[in-house]
Structure formats: structure tokens, C-alpha cells
Structure 1
Amino acid sequence: MRTIWTCAAWRNKEEEKDMYVAGIDIGTTSICCVVMDAESGKQIAVLGKPNDAGLPSANGWERAQDPGRIAAIADGLIGELGSCWGRVGAVGISCQMHGVLYVDGQGKAVSPLYTWQDRRGDCPFGDGMTYAAYMEDRTGYPLASGYGMVTHFYNVRCGLVPQDAAYLCTIGDYVAMRLSGSAIPLMDPSNAASLGLFDPAEGRFDLARMSALGMDAWMVPPVAGRESAAGTTADGKLVACAIGDNQASFLGSVPTLAGAMLVNIGTGAQISIFSETPDAKPGIEARPFPGGGYLLAGASLGGGKTYALLEALFRDVCESFGAAPAASRSLYERMNELAEEALLEGGPRLRVTASFFGTRDNPDATGSIAGIGDRNFKAKQLVLGVLAGVADELIGLAASFPERLRGRIGTVAASGNGVRKNRVMQRLLREKLGHPIHLSRMEEEAAFGAALYAGVRAGAFPGIEAAISHFQRSEAYDG
């Protein structure tokens, strides 16, 4: 048995046997849990369920979910693991970034989770500015609708903060509190930065600017240090602080930190690269990375949502002509087939600008379709064009990465079902980036990354690179 590097007092040396590590990923549309053997690197279990916690709203701009339902789904997955859960020594959590909820002094949720898709920050504030634009103008921090601090600012101004709210936190922090029995959330910098008004260099929220905007600074939870954990479960499992799903997906997908770039296409989409320094530029965020360093990330508001919009269009066309597909039948499989046919046929492609949901910098941006001719005005070409448009938007963001980082890229990893389940997207990315596309052998990359991080925090590995090397999980896609 290999040496276990013990850096946490929670672990009893008499129990140093094969240890399992678990990762829970709280996504926008699904929640999953993976269990890995930290000794062998083998996958022990993987479970997933749809995230059906969405809440109805009379406001078209509001996107909210029920945190109690999310926690119940996570508890259900743990229950299904049975005796396997008993061998877990550490639990990691990744979660959808930017969203925020409020908890009371006992750690109980007293509000919905306002997700990253919430658009209240785009509502008019005054003087022709939105809430998000006003905050950005007053603070100098890059902000957008959906960021937790923008949501909080709106709620403060509109009297929507619950009277018994003691802290604001992310959904990952809330699940970590539930697992560890804590009453006070402890926020990892990767999630703290996603809320906005956070200084990565100082590792803290900018309380002065919060106060200047009329927001109570005391509602901000403590920010975790590099060696901190959220707590322990009743039976002694270490619960690592929740980390952002972008960072977790990076950990769960790349074969090494340096020299790797990640393309993630799920409900949204990001393109990311690791950097030792925070080289943020317009359109690129410098997100704190668990254990140190930064993940430079360009984020699209579309990604998988864009493909879902196209599926809805085709469904509407079918219904309009009396050939409605069954509600339970997805059209994605046929769409993927059509895209492959279009790719094999060749010929002039449609040029699609895929910003149908706006962009971070311009929420009013719209999509467009150009290059239409009598040879390509077909459904299959539209599917191919939309996929290419999603890829082009991400690659355009990657052009803003520092040259010193782009020049050393040796590996392009991909994660998310928008890539994994779509061979055409894999091929488009390979052609446009000029690199083979590497897919993790683990389908739930964010949950896997969270488990890997939990192993590091528990002392099963001396650091992130050692954990990545141990699992050796990437395999190349050659089309």
C-alpha cells in the first residue's frame, strides 16, 4: 500500500486502509455523485439524478431553484450508495457558479437559490443603466447579471432580503453545511470570486465597496484558506469546502495543470486555462483555483442552452405541421445525425453567430445566420452551423488568453455532455484548435474533480498535480 500523506488531524491512523473519496456535483439541470478509490484510482460508483428543483415565477427574468429539494436529491444519492458510503473518508462538492441563497443563524435556507441564469441584474436601475452596469460603474469590478452580488444588490434595493437572513452563500456551501452540521458557511475563493466584488489577490470580498452600495458587509461569510475544510460529518468524513464547477471540471478533465486548455460545454460553456498569475482581460475572468493559482476563463451564456433552443425550434416546426414528437422524445440524437451528414457532404456552411442569449459584456446581443444559399438552406446545415457557432464563440474568447499561455498549450481537454455526446462538436473543436481533443474517462468530470480535490484536502495526495498524475484519466479523441 502506498504512503498516505496525512495533513489533517481528523483522520485516525488506525483507519489508514483503502480510502474512498466522493464528489458531489450540483449542476443546473442534474446532480450527481461519484466515488473513487484513492488507492487504486478506480471508479467505484457513479449516480445521477435530474435537478428538478426549479421554481415557477411570475417574473420572466427570474431563475430560482429550491435549495431544500437540491439537498434532498444529494441526500438521496448518498442513501443509494449504501455500504459504499461507509468507506468514504472525504467528500468534495462542486456547484453551479455565481448563484446565491440566504441562510439564517442556524444554517437553514430562508430563500430560494437565485441561479446564474437569473436576469434581475439586467433590470433598469436608473439613468439608463441596469443594476449590473451601475454596480460595475461604481466599483470598477467586472460584473454581470446572475452574479450573486448583483442579485443581492437588487434584492437589497427592492426589499427582498429575508429578515432572518444571516449569511449569503452558494448552493455548494449550503450542501456542505448540511453534510457537516455547520451553521456558518465557509466559502472557497473559487466560489467567492464568482459572486463578484471579490479581490483575488487579497482573498477577500471588498467590504468597503459593498457598504458604499448599501449592502450589509456582515452578510458575507468567511472565506476559506488553502488548508481549510467545511467540517466533518457525524461519522468523521472530512467535508471539503465547495469549489466552482468550472475549476472542478478542469481538475476532472486535464492530464496536467500547466499546458492544458479545457473546453466545457454543458448548460453554459467555458474555455479555460491555468495560470500562476491573474492575467484577466476584457471578456476573461481570473478565477481563483483550489490550492493556488488561477483559472483564466471565458464564459458563454449559451453553449448547451443554444443547442436546446434549436431543438425547441425543430419541435415547434413539427408541431406546427401536425407531426408533433412525443413530449418524452428528445430530438438531439437526430440532430446529431443531421450534423454528421452535413459535415460529410461538405459544401458551403452557414455562418451562425450563436449569441442568442446575449454575452457577458453585452446582454442585449443577439444571434445571426449568414451565408444562406440554395445549397445550404437545410435543417442539417442549420444544426452544423449552430454547433460551429458555439465552438467559434469559445475559440474567440481563447484568443484573449495571454500569448505566453497559448504558446505552451499541448493538450486540449473537453468536458460536459455538449462535447462528450456530440462527435461533430469534438471534430469541430479539433479542426479549429489544431489539437486532438482529450476526454476524461470519467463522464461526470466536475464530480470527479471535486472528489480528487477532497482527496488532496484529506491528505491522500501531497498536492493537486500529484492527484491528477495518480488518476491518469485522459484519453485522446482522434475523430
Structure 2
Amino acid sequence: MLVAGIDIGTTSISVVVASAETGETLAVVTRKNDAALETDRSWEHIQDPERIFAIVEELIAECSRHWPDVTAIGVSCQMHGMLYVNREGRSVSPLYTWQDGRGDLPMKTGEDTYSLHLGKLEGHSLSSGYGLVTHYYNTLNGEVPPDAAHLCTIGDYVVMKLTGSAVPVMDPSNAAGFGMFATQALAFETKAVKRAGMDAAMLPRICEGYAAAGVTPDGKKVACAIGDNQASFIGSVPQLEHMLLVNIGTGSQISIYTEGYEEIAGLETRPFPGGGFLLVGAPLSGGKSYALLERFFKETCRSFGICIDDDDIYDRMNEMAGKALEDGAELLRFGTQFYGTRHDPLVLGHIAGLRPDNFTPGHFAAGVLGGIVDELMGYLHLLPGRLLNQIQQAAGSGNGIRKNPVMQQRLQDRLNMPLFLSGAQEEAAFGAALYAASAAGMFPDLKAAMAAMGKN
């Protein structure tokens, strides 16, 4: 039996086909997510959901040799973002991604931002980019499409398109990323939603346990879409317990699994597909910060009339960073909060320790990589000793780690333990495939699926 996983990321989309018996990966295809829509609002980040599904279809077509034998499909997706669908299940809005900044705009009625004001109404901190923060802004500013019937994630929408469903169903791992969600109860806080003036009837139904959301026309079971953070954890670690996952892609996170609900100041408690929770520290930086430096280098070269090959620049940056680590000069200390933090969007990035001998492009590259790691380690140290001492091994996932040996070195230096890299390519897509095997009933639970399929 074969299973497939689809991962819908902010910058790329991937499909993996694997054997449910052995975990052997039979096909891996990836395509750039080119669905971004132009906008004259500097704070708005939107994508075309129909273009995203078209890319998914193109990737499935590339797996045509194996696709007829696929019996279950899992989907993981960028968390927090949302779109509107009508009663027929068609998209009637763009996808407002997790990077959308409307929640940080000041309200017309006072000094509060939309995210801050909504957080006060609910009694919990909320960040811009969260689905219900976006919807709150749209509700107050008359930007909800008139024929909108439901809110959903892009993963839920792809599941709807695959199964022909007109009504979205949402896994708790994605619902929690919308905000205004009671994590322990695994339910939206509908009273708070109504108090804020939003229509609670637009909220999707929540999946329970290992659940299939529907079936494709050719009989493949499709699992409820799960959050990409949780999917990466599933696809990256050899076991759920005693593992730390460090993920660096466009964003970044540190995550550990716990069976019971925990509340730790400064960390998010996210529902885990099928049961349990992830404790997550999630900066707003990550690969975006390194991409910002890459853009700076390119613009500098172009300003001097120098043409550079975009395909080579990251490799060159990594090479320069590696040499900077070897040359013995004091390393720069970068604060990579270029996009603020989830708790304070006004926090700024900074550089410290500049000297004549480290004022070089290589030290800047090494400094940004170190700053990304430092910010992640700040979240790790929030864990109480009883949880921190349970960690026996660290796993790394995301292209920001997999494709960057210098990042791997900096992480290992700070973690003081080996960094395990999964043999699975496209960890989130592989994790979605593992979850699909559980949701389709091929295994009694996710742990059994991981034990059987995670051998590769």
C-alpha cells in the first residue's frame, strides 16, 4: 500500500509518495509556490488559492507512475493563514497568509492594534496573521466577501478540492493557529468570537482523533489537514517522546512533544494530531532573516553594476560564513528580530560587536545564522528542568538547516548534543503521509505508523 503527503508551504509546495509497509520514499516532487498576489498595501501578504491547488494537481501528475496505488492522502499546510469559501465550497477570497500584517494596524477607535484589541476581548495574546485576527480586521472594515460562508486554512481547502466537499473540516493543530481556540477543550471559543462581533457560524467543524475528512472520486481516503509544524515533527523524529525538533524554513520553531497539557510562559501549547500537544517556541525570524541578508547582498552588487547568479548566492554566503567561523575573529552578535516578535511587533533587529576585522560579508552571514540560533535557544531555555532534562536527542528539519552546514554547526554548538537529520526528504510532506496512514486505519495510531514507516 502507498500513502501520499502534500505540504503547502509559504514558498514551496511538495508531494511525497511512500510505502506504508516500509516507509520507503518512492517519489518526491517540489515546486516553487508562485501564488503570491500583488497588492498596493505594504502590510498585506496574500496568495491565490486556486493557483496553489493547480500546483498541487501538477505535482500529483508528476507522480502518475505511483498515484493509482495511493490509498490515503495527508495534507500539511502553513499555519495561521486563512481564506473564505462560499456555500458551494469555492474560494471567494485570497489566502491571507501568516505573514499578513493587518492585525498590527492601529484601530480607528483608539491606540490599540486589531490583534491587541482582540486579544484583550478574549483574554489571551494574539498575533497578526492569525486567522481570526485577519477575519476581525476584515469584519470591522467591511472586507468580508458577501458570499463567504466559512473560514478555513489552505490545507482544508485543498482537502475540500480533492474530496469535492463543500464544507471545511479543521484539525485542532490548525484550529489553534487561528486564535480564540481553547487548546485543552479542543474547541473554538465561540462566545468570545460572538462578543467580538464575528459570526461564529463561519467557523469550521473540528476533526476528532484520527479522522479522514473525505474520499477522492477514485476512492483514496484524505485525512484532515494538519499544521506544518506538527507534520514536520512527525516526519523528522524517530519517536515522539524525548526529542527536540528544531525547524528552520521561512520561519522557525523549536518543539517538544508532551502527552499532557502544559502551560509555560513564553511558549505556545499546540494540539498534536491524534492526541497530545507540542510545546513550541516560534520566533518570526528564521530563514526570512537569512533571505533578508541575501537580498541586501544582491542589491549591493547590482548597485555597483555586478551581475550575480541567484542560484549560487546562498552557497556563496554559506561558504563565506564557514570561513568566518574559522578565522578566529570575534563573531558578530545579531538580533534577528527584523520582523518584531509575536508579543511585540515594534521590537527591532540589531548588530553588536562590530570591529575592523569582522566587518566582512562572511561575518555578517555567520552573524545572522548565529542570531537565528540564539533567538531559538532563548525559547528552549524557557522549558522547566523536568522537561529539558528529558530531551535525549535533537532533530533538525527545514531547508534552512538541511541545506546549510554552517547552520547545522552553529546549532550543534549551542545545543551541546548531536543533531539528527531525518532521512526523509520534505519532512512535512512525509509527516502528512505518516498521519494519513493512521487516519486511514492502516495502523492503530500514529506511534505505530512512525515505528513502521520511520525506519528510513
Please state which band the TM-score falls in when normalised by the shorter chain: over 0.9
Deviations 1:137-160 (A, max 9, x none): 121122100000000000000001
Give the secondary-structure state (helix, strand or coil) at the position aligned to 1:89.
strand
Supply the distance in 2 between the matched residues of 1:347 and 1:75 (Cα, whole angstroms): 50
The one-letter code sitting in structure 1 at the alignment partner of 2:450 is I
1:345 corresponding residue in structure 2: 327
1:420 aligns with 2:419: no
Larger mean CA deviation between 337-346 and 238-247 belongs to: 337-346
Give yes or no for contact 1:302–1:354 (8 Å, CA) kept in 2: yes
The aligned counterpart of 1:101 is 83
1:79 to 40, 56, 61: 61
Query: 1:21, 1:90 within 8 Å by CA — same for their partners in 2?
Result: yes
Q: Which residue of 2 aligns with 1:231?
A: 214
In structure 2, relative to structure 1, the CA distance for the partners of 1:379 and 1:227 (3 Å cut) is closer
Aligned counterpart for 2:240 among listed residues 239, 248, 257: 257
Per-residue deviation, residues 426-467 of structure 1 (Å, max 9, x unmatched):
011111011100001112000000000000111222211122
2:346 aligns with one of 339, 364, 386:
364
The corresponding residue for 2:302 is 319
Unmatched segments (≥5 aa) in structure 2: none
Corresponding residue to 2:282 among 294, 299, 305: 299
- Aligned residue number for residue 174 of structure 1: 157
Measure how far apart 1:228 and its partner are.
Answer: 2.2
- Asked if 1:270 is matched to 2:253, the reply is yes
Q: Distance in 1 between matches of 2:455 and 2:413?
A: 23
Following TM superposition, by how much is the alpha carbon of 1:330 offset from its aligned partner in structure 2, in angstroms? 4.2
Shift of 1:66: 0.3
Counterpart Cα distance in 2 of 1:468 and 1:142: 34
Indicate the residue corresponding to 2:366 in structure 1: 384
Report the equivalent of 1:162: 145
> TM-score by structure 1 length?
0.93
Structure-2 residue corresponding to 1:11: none
**C-alpha distance in 2 between matches for 1:294 and 1:402:** 16
Structure 1 residue corresponding to 2:443, chosen from 443, 451, 461: 461
Is this contact kept in 1: 2:210–2:438, CA < 8 A?
A: no
Q: Distance in 2 between matches of 1:116 and 1:295?
A: 19
* Partner of residue 205 from structure 2, selected from 213, 222, 229: 222
Partner Cα separation in structure 1 for residue 398 and residue 23 of structure 2: 21
- Higher mean alpha-carbon deviation, 441-450 vs 119-128, is at 119-128
Paired letter, 1:100: M
Superposed displacement of residue 402, structure 1: 2.9
Tell me if the contact between 1:188 and 1:243 (Cα under 8 Å) persists in the aligned partners.
yes
Distance in 2 separating the partners of 1:359 and 1:464: 33
SS at the partner of 1:331?
Answer: helix
Aligned partners of 2:295, 2:31: CA distance in 1, in Å?
23
Aligned residue number for residue 434 of structure 2: 452
Work out which of the residue numbers 10, 33, 58 in structure 1 matches 2:15.
33
1:442 aligns to what? 424
Q: Give the CA deviation at 1:223.
A: 0.4
Give the superposition deviation at 1:174. 0.2
Is the CA contact (8 Å cut-off) linking 1:278 and 1:296 kept in structure 2?
Answer: no
Which of the residues 385, 409, 428 maps onto 1:403? 385
Q: Is the 8 A contact 1:259 1:410 kept in 2?
A: yes
Q: Secondary structure at the match of 1:271?
A: strand
In 1, Cα distance between the equivalents of 2:424 and 2:397? 9
Find the counterpart in structure 1 of residue 116 from structure 2.
Answer: 133
Code of the aligned partner of 2:437? G
Q: Render the CA deviation track for 1:333-382: whole Å, top value 9, x for unaligned.
A: 10000011011112311111111111101111111110111221111111
**1:21 partner SS:** strand
Structure 2 Cα separation of the partners of residues 249 and 227 of structure 1 = 17
2: CA distance, partners of 1:330 / 1:52:
20
Residue 440 of structure 1 contacts residue 473 of structure 1 at CA under 8 Å; is this kept in 2? no
- Detail structure 1 runs of 4+ shifted over 6 Å in the superposition: none
* Residues 97-121 of structure 1: per-residue CA shift (max 9 Å, x gap): 0000000011100000000000000
Aligned partner of 1:425: which letter?
Answer: M
User: Which residue of the partner structure matches residue 143 of structure 1?
Assistant: 126
Moved more, 394-403 or 83-92: 394-403
Instruction: Quote the offset at 1:473 in angstroms.
Output: 4.3
Q: How many residues align?
A: 455
Q: Indicate the residue corresponding to 1:243 in structure 2.
A: 226
1:90 maps to which residue?
A: 72
Which piece of structure 1 moves more, 122-131 or 100-109?
A: 122-131
In 2: Cα distance, 1:59 partner to 1:32 partner: 29
Match of 1:281 in 2: 264
Q: State the secondary structure of the residue aligned to 1:230.
A: strand
Distance, in Å, in 1 between the alignment partners of 2:182 and 2:125 is 11
Deviations 1:198-242 (A, max 9, x none): 001111100100000000000001001103211001111100000
- Amino acid of the residue matched to residue 150 of structure 2? Y
1:114 maps onto 2:96 in alignment? yes
Q: Which is worse superposed, 342-351 or 20-29?
A: 342-351
Spell out the pairing of 1:11-30 with structure 2 (5 A cutoff).
19-30=1-12
Match of 2:181 among 198, 219, 236: 198
CA distance in structure 2 between the aligned counterparts of 1:263 and 1:128, rounded to whole angstroms: 36
1:409 Cα offset (Å):
0.3
Q: Secondary structure at the match of 1:375?
A: helix
Mapped partners of 1:86, 1:346: distance in 2:
56
Partner of 1:186: 169
- The separation in 1 between residues aligned to 2:418 and 2:211, in whole angstroms, is 37
Quote the Cα distance in structure 2 between the aligned partners of 1:216 and 1:95: 25
1:150 maps to a residue whose letter is V
Secondary structure of 2:383's counterpart equals coil
Tell me what 1:14 maps to: none
CA contact (8 A) 1:412 1:436 kept: yes
**Residue 336 of structure 2: aligned partner:** 354
Q: Please tell me whether the aligned partners of residues 176 and 239 of structure 1 are also in contact (alpha carbons under 8 angstroms).
A: yes
C-alpha distance in 2 between matches for 1:216 and 1:193: 18
